[in-house]
Structure 1
């Protein structure tokens, strides 16, 4: 059945991923060593590495102190995707994360979904270990995942995430509010993802402080770069960090979003394919040294 409750329509890409992740989580919850009560016990023992707050980190980048500060970067580690297939299947996540961090990224987003994106929690843990030596100035670590239950948030925190992704399109309002509150209880301000005005209203209703507008429709994976532009006015007078997600390929995209009042961009595929990651980032964001 589709997310809209229509049994006559074939499942969308998002619905297929959601169904698979439900099976994956059920298996993890039943496995000795990763059962929910064990994850909770580890958290209560203080075994999760220290957090850094997301909002202040997103408001800081290499251009912050200049006369014309640019947007902040959420740099993504992504081996593959449903729409593009393999992108960088042999990437070393830890090495890639260090490149992103040293180039000035405020957030490192790590895909942990294994079937379509070929990611894992181990990828995220190694990313976190690689950048820990940078101290308090390190980027925040985002678990980029299809989250529908508290268990996924708890394991994200245990493995070093500072924040998690909550996708409005795949959650009821009750689920969204509950998972948002649970994330906050662990000290993590979530990135709440929306794709239209109705979803933006739902994100604001739960009090989201960081909202990402996905230019890619997760049901059919089509991309419309105007999606973010069309929702800017809904948060213009609010204390919300607005991020543009998906489809950003060059400096012209960033310039347009900066003019419109967007605060950050999430870039994945273009970074994973870049021959010189550092040079690409500095040119993309018009940061000092570009």
Structure 2
């Protein structure tokens, strides 16, 4: 008998994205074989490596280095609704880049987050003027097929998000391997100890702990703190994702040896984004 339990938010998003991807794959110009051919023609933009870029920020040359910043372009979300619907992603990305962000995360999911691949391509084009100093570009998406990773590479991403909670282990391993084969070390997202172990078994070099449970979208800022010990003494960059809103959050995670924070809503709502970033991370003035 089928379960009468209603789908979680993550399950709803996953189901919709499967429909969206089926449409894209059937559309002339974006069929899977066409994306493969574009990649084989070396039409994808030049990559930068995620791991070394995450280890560099405006404070790394000082005596008291801070965490690195993954700054997010986020118009809306399932939990908060509209956040910044009139944002210009390219302009916002330049503010993030010039303020010292190591990574710019771009949500490309259209239904709940109001994002697109075009947003990501324009973000990438905007920061290209910074050359080797530009931030890495993350495709923040609900990825379940190699096709979406090919899309990400062609549209200018340096890395993609793989969410352990929505992937079977075989899927996770296959998608991780495909991303790495294209030169993109993925950000692997976890929410509990079991998922963290799966990410470690995978050999992930960059692991993000989402303080927001994607099934019910509740936030628990202690989620990252509880999982820190699992990566201690390992060659893993640990990132805290979701819920970070002020300097105290960053200070707490820094004391726990977290390496980076991903911040979206607070940056999108900030009156002066550059000042907010500097105060959030306790970075020196540029």
- Cα distance in 2, alignment partners of residues 165 and 132 from structure 1: 21
Q: 2:278 maps to what in 1?
A: 282
Q: 1:126 maps to what in 2?
A: 122
Q: Deviations over 1:107-133 (max 9, x none)?
A: 000000000000000000000000001
Q: 2:108 maps to what in 1?
A: 112
Is 1:93–2:89 an aligned residue pair? yes
* Aligned residues: CA RMSD: 1.0
**What SS does the aligned partner of 1:20 have?**
helix
Q: 2:146 maps to what in 1?
A: 150
**What SS does the aligned partner of 2:48 have?**
coil
TM-score calculated relative to the size of structure 2: 0.99
- Cα distance in 1, alignment partners of residues 127 and 168 from structure 2: 35
Question: 1:8 deviation in Å?
Answer: 2.5
Question: 1:7 deviation in Å?
Answer: 2.4
Q: 2:78 maps to what in 1?
A: 82
**Structure 1 residues not aligned, in runs of 5+:** none
Question: 1:289 deviation in Å?
Answer: 1.8
TM-score calculated relative to the size of structure 1: 0.98
- Cα distance in 2, alignment partners of residues 8 and 229 from structure 1: 35
Is 1:242–2:238 an aligned residue pair? yes
| Structure 1 residues 166-185: aligned runs within 5 Å | 166-185=162-181
Q: 1:13 maps to what in 2?
A: 9
Q: 1:63 maps to what in 2?
A: 59
**What SS does the aligned partner of 1:100 have?**
helix
Q: Deviations over 1:39-84 (max 9, x none)?
A: 0000000000000000000000000010010000000000000000
- Cα distance in 1, alignment partners of residues 173 and 3 from structure 2: 26
Total equivalences in the alignment: 286
**What SS does the aligned partner of 2:23 have?**
helix
Q: 2:255 maps to what in 1?
A: 259
